[in-house]
Amino acid sequence: MVKELKIQSFIRDVPDFPKPGIVFRDITPLLAHPEARKSVVEEIANNYQDQKIDAIAAVEARGFIFGSLLAEALGVAFIPVRKSGKLPFKKIHEEYALEYGTASIEMHEDAIEPGSRVLIHDDLLATGGTASAAASMIKKLGGEVVGFSFVINLAFLDGEQVLTERFGVKPHYLVSY
Protein backbone atom coordinates (compact mmCIF):
# COMPACT_ATOMS: atom_id res chain seq x y z
CA MET A 1 0.00 0.00 0.00
CA VAL A 2 1.11 3.54 -0.70
CA LYS A 3 1.29 5.58 2.48
CA GLU A 4 0.37 9.27 2.70
CA LEU A 5 3.94 10.54 2.32
CA LYS A 6 4.53 8.32 -0.68
CA ILE A 7 1.25 9.43 -2.30
CA GLN A 8 2.24 13.04 -1.73
CA SER A 9 5.47 12.41 -3.64
CA PHE A 10 3.31 11.76 -6.74
CA ILE A 11 1.28 14.96 -6.36
CA ARG A 12 2.76 17.99 -8.06
CA ASP A 13 2.26 21.48 -6.66
CA VAL A 14 1.59 24.05 -9.37
CA PRO A 15 1.78 27.56 -7.88
CA ASP A 16 -0.48 30.36 -9.08
CA PHE A 17 -2.87 28.10 -10.99
CA PRO A 18 -5.62 28.72 -11.97
CA LYS A 19 -5.00 32.19 -10.53
CA PRO A 20 -2.37 33.95 -8.40
CA GLY A 21 -2.17 32.73 -4.81
CA ILE A 22 -3.64 29.28 -5.51
CA VAL A 23 -1.50 26.14 -5.31
CA PHE A 24 -3.02 23.54 -7.63
CA ARG A 25 -2.56 19.91 -6.50
CA ASP A 26 -1.89 18.06 -9.75
CA ILE A 27 -2.49 14.29 -9.74
CA THR A 28 -1.05 13.78 -13.25
CA PRO A 29 2.23 12.29 -11.94
CA LEU A 30 0.20 9.88 -9.78
CA LEU A 31 -1.79 8.79 -12.82
CA ALA A 32 1.42 8.19 -14.75
CA HIS A 33 2.74 5.70 -12.18
CA PRO A 34 0.89 2.35 -12.49
CA GLU A 35 1.89 0.95 -9.08
CA ALA A 36 1.00 4.13 -7.21
CA ARG A 37 -2.29 4.45 -9.11
CA LYS A 38 -3.17 0.83 -8.31
CA SER A 39 -2.31 1.32 -4.64
CA VAL A 40 -4.55 4.38 -4.40
CA VAL A 41 -7.47 2.41 -5.82
CA GLU A 42 -6.78 -0.51 -3.45
CA GLU A 43 -6.58 1.76 -0.39
CA ILE A 44 -9.85 3.51 -1.18
CA ALA A 45 -11.63 0.28 -2.20
CA ASN A 46 -10.48 -1.50 0.97
CA ASN A 47 -12.08 1.25 3.04
CA TYR A 48 -15.49 0.57 1.44
CA GLN A 49 -15.42 -3.14 0.50
CA ASP A 50 -17.72 -4.20 3.36
CA GLN A 51 -20.28 -1.39 3.00
CA LYS A 52 -22.50 -3.01 0.36
CA ILE A 53 -22.14 -0.17 -2.13
CA ASP A 54 -24.30 -0.30 -5.26
CA ALA A 55 -22.63 2.51 -7.24
CA ILE A 56 -19.83 5.04 -7.39
CA ALA A 57 -20.94 8.55 -8.38
CA ALA A 58 -17.84 10.37 -9.60
CA VAL A 59 -17.50 14.04 -10.35
CA GLU A 60 -16.15 15.32 -13.66
CA ALA A 61 -13.39 15.38 -14.70
CA ARG A 62 -10.53 14.14 -12.50
CA GLY A 63 -12.98 12.29 -10.25
CA PHE A 64 -13.90 10.09 -13.21
CA ILE A 65 -10.42 8.60 -13.34
CA PHE A 66 -10.28 7.00 -9.90
CA GLY A 67 -14.08 6.77 -9.69
CA SER A 68 -14.27 4.39 -12.63
CA LEU A 69 -11.33 2.36 -11.31
CA LEU A 70 -13.05 2.14 -7.91
CA ALA A 71 -16.30 1.00 -9.52
CA GLU A 72 -14.35 -1.71 -11.33
CA ALA A 73 -12.49 -2.76 -8.16
CA LEU A 74 -15.71 -2.97 -6.14
CA GLY A 75 -17.76 -4.51 -8.96
CA VAL A 76 -20.42 -1.79 -8.87
CA ALA A 77 -22.09 0.67 -11.24
CA PHE A 78 -20.38 3.91 -12.27
CA ILE A 79 -22.44 7.13 -12.33
CA PRO A 80 -20.97 10.16 -14.11
CA VAL A 81 -21.72 13.48 -12.43
CA ARG A 82 -21.08 16.15 -15.04
CA LYS A 83 -21.06 19.88 -15.54
CA SER A 84 -24.41 21.13 -16.79
CA GLY A 85 -25.15 20.68 -20.46
CA LYS A 86 -22.96 17.59 -20.97
CA LEU A 87 -25.37 14.68 -20.41
CA PRO A 88 -27.63 13.59 -23.31
CA PHE A 89 -30.62 12.04 -21.50
CA LYS A 90 -33.21 13.18 -18.95
CA LYS A 91 -31.33 14.63 -16.00
CA ILE A 92 -31.55 16.44 -12.72
CA HIS A 93 -29.22 19.23 -11.74
CA GLU A 94 -28.02 20.92 -8.60
CA GLU A 95 -26.55 24.38 -8.25
CA TYR A 96 -23.84 25.12 -5.69
CA ALA A 97 -21.80 28.09 -4.54
CA LEU A 98 -18.32 28.87 -5.72
CA GLU A 99 -15.96 31.45 -4.26
CA TYR A 100 -17.22 33.94 -6.85
CA GLY A 101 -20.64 32.91 -8.13
CA THR A 102 -22.33 29.58 -8.70
CA ALA A 103 -21.99 26.44 -10.81
CA SER A 104 -24.17 23.43 -11.42
CA ILE A 105 -23.73 19.73 -12.02
CA GLU A 106 -26.13 17.09 -13.26
CA MET A 107 -26.72 13.38 -13.49
CA HIS A 108 -29.20 11.20 -15.36
CA GLU A 109 -32.58 10.72 -13.69
CA ASP A 110 -32.29 6.96 -14.12
CA ALA A 111 -28.75 6.75 -12.70
CA ILE A 112 -29.83 5.01 -9.52
CA GLU A 113 -32.74 3.05 -8.14
CA PRO A 114 -34.41 4.24 -4.93
CA GLY A 115 -32.58 2.72 -1.98
CA SER A 116 -29.27 2.42 -3.83
CA ARG A 117 -26.20 2.83 -1.64
CA VAL A 118 -23.87 5.29 -3.35
CA LEU A 119 -20.28 6.34 -2.71
CA ILE A 120 -19.38 9.78 -4.07
CA HIS A 121 -15.83 10.16 -5.34
CA ASP A 122 -13.77 13.14 -6.48
CA ASP A 123 -10.06 13.77 -6.65
CA LEU A 124 -9.99 16.66 -4.19
CA LEU A 125 -12.08 17.95 -1.29
CA ALA A 126 -11.97 21.73 -0.83
CA THR A 127 -15.15 23.48 0.37
CA GLY A 128 -17.42 20.47 -0.15
CA GLY A 129 -19.72 22.32 -2.57
CA THR A 130 -19.46 19.92 -5.50
CA ALA A 131 -19.71 16.79 -3.34
CA SER A 132 -22.69 18.28 -1.47
CA ALA A 133 -24.45 18.99 -4.76
CA ALA A 134 -23.84 15.41 -5.93
CA ALA A 135 -25.14 14.06 -2.62
CA SER A 136 -28.26 16.22 -2.86
CA MET A 137 -29.05 14.79 -6.31
CA ILE A 138 -28.56 11.23 -5.08
CA LYS A 139 -30.92 11.87 -2.19
CA LYS A 140 -33.50 13.46 -4.53
CA LEU A 141 -33.46 10.26 -6.58
CA GLY A 142 -34.03 8.18 -3.43
CA GLY A 143 -30.46 6.99 -3.00
CA GLU A 144 -28.45 6.75 0.19
CA VAL A 145 -25.06 8.44 0.41
CA VAL A 146 -22.85 5.94 2.23
CA GLY A 147 -19.58 7.77 1.82
CA PHE A 148 -17.41 10.43 0.26
CA SER A 149 -13.96 9.48 -0.97
CA PHE A 150 -11.14 11.72 -2.14
CA VAL A 151 -7.49 11.36 -2.95
CA ILE A 152 -6.71 14.81 -1.49
CA ASN A 153 -8.25 16.89 1.31
CA LEU A 154 -7.45 20.58 1.65
CA ALA A 155 -7.79 20.65 5.44
CA PHE A 156 -7.43 24.45 5.67
CA LEU A 157 -10.85 24.69 4.01
CA ASP A 158 -14.05 23.45 5.63
CA GLY A 159 -15.16 20.73 3.20
CA GLU A 160 -14.71 17.85 5.61
CA GLN A 161 -16.79 19.58 8.27
CA VAL A 162 -19.48 20.61 5.75
CA LEU A 163 -19.98 17.07 4.46
CA THR A 164 -19.89 15.50 7.92
CA GLU A 165 -22.44 17.93 9.34
CA ARG A 166 -24.74 18.07 6.34
CA PHE A 167 -24.83 14.36 5.46
CA GLY A 168 -23.67 12.62 8.64
CA VAL A 169 -20.82 10.90 6.81
CA LYS A 170 -17.16 11.64 7.51
CA PRO A 171 -15.22 11.87 4.23
CA HIS A 172 -12.36 9.44 3.57
CA TYR A 173 -9.20 10.76 1.91
CA LEU A 174 -5.63 9.59 1.48
CA VAL A 175 -3.64 12.85 1.63
CA SER A 176 -4.30 16.03 3.56
CA TYR A 177 -2.72 19.45 3.04
Catalytic residues: 62, 99
Q: Give the list of residues 6+ apart from residue 134 with CB closer than 8 angstroms, or none.
A: 57, 59, 81, 94, 105, 107, 120
Query: How far is CA 176 from each of CA 24, 62, 72, 143, 160, rounded to the nearest angstrom?
Result: 14, 17, 25, 28, 11
The answer to whether the CB of 37 falls within 8 A of the CB of 31 is yes
